[in-house]
Amino acid sequence: MFWERLLRLDRRWIFLFVAVSVLLPLLFNLECHQVPTPIVRGIFDKLESLPPGSHVLLSFDYGPSTVPEISPMAHAVIRHCLERDLKVVFMALWATGQNLLTSTVDSVVKLEFPHKVNGTDYANFGYKAGNQGVINVIATDFYKMFTTDISGMPARTMPLMEDVENMSDMSLIISFGGGFPGIKEWVQFAGDVAHVPVAGGCTAVSAPLLYPYYPQQLIGLMGGIKGAAEYEAMLTHTYPKFDPLPKRGMLAMGPQTVAHLVIMFFIVVGNLAYFLSRSHKAKA
């Protein structure tokens, strides 16, 4: 019987179909249309509402293993901030975050916004050990933890920092977090204490743990590559100049969407084959 033969299908055929469903969208650069969800739009709208010159703190709290998910959203947010002429303060609570941060500044800020001046439009303060203790300190005095940036430029002499004493002087905090310390700690020790809006970008597996903080303590959250793709879609729609740039989030959604559809197809067919073959045996 056809359905019984289908149940005995070699699993390697399924693996082959999934591999092809991932490979073809990558080869043809398939971009899936994205409809931004309110939880992602909250971050975009907040940055759009900030007046030029507002300070935004971006914390790189993740490592190399989560780069494919988190880096696309970080790049999109940085482009948005600099296009809006916001003052960007970079830092990291993870030791691995400093290299990722420096690489991002070189590949996005310096390459795409060469007119932006270090110390005036942005500053990279790098990694500081201490987990949530770092947040506790800078919530009241930023310069107790960061006296210079990673190049040795004194923090207090920067034009960027002349109006900044602590976290209360930030208009928005965005943590790109891969775990602890990360978004939750920024909410608990900065947002709730200094009354500064907090948003975040995280891996898809971490997002459900952070949803309870939205919308009271988190104004928005980008969860996984889907969140990155939604933010990229809003950015390119609002600022068409960014459309030619690589949109890794939207490109990654192509193979992910097709692969999920293929997996769902095999689940449906497999269950259908099971029940129909069992029904046939019962009748026999």
Q: Kindly state whether residue 33 falls inside one of the protein's structural domains.
A: no
In sequence order, what are the residues at sequence separation of 6 or more whose Cβ sits closer than 8 angstroms to the Cβ of residue 5? none
pTM score: 0.88
189 and 125 in one domain? yes
Helix (H, G, I), strand (E, B) or coil at 29: coil
Number of domains, the chain: 2
SS (H, E, C) 182-218: CHHHHHHHHHHHHCCCEEEEECCCCHHHHHHHCCCCC
Residues 109, 182: one domain? yes
CATH number, domain with residue 188: 3.40.50
Domain span at 11: 2-28+255-283
Element (H, E) at 61: strand 55-61
pLDDT tens, position by position, for the chain (284 residues)?
A: 676 777 777 888 888 988 998 888 888 887 777 889 999 999 999 999 999 999 999 999 999 999 999 999 999 999 999 999 999 999 999 999 999 999 999 999 999 999 999 999 999 999 999 999 999 999 999 999 999 999 899 999 999 999 899 999 999 999 998 789 999 999 999 988 888 999 999 999 999 999 999 989 999 999 999 999 999 999 999 999 999 988 888 888 888 888 888 899 888 988 888 887 777 766 76
> Quick one: which of 182, 228, 222, 178 has its CA closest to 201?
222
With b meaning 16 or more CB within 10 Å and e meaning fewer, what string describes 70-96? bbbbbbbbbbbbbbbebbbbbbbbbeb
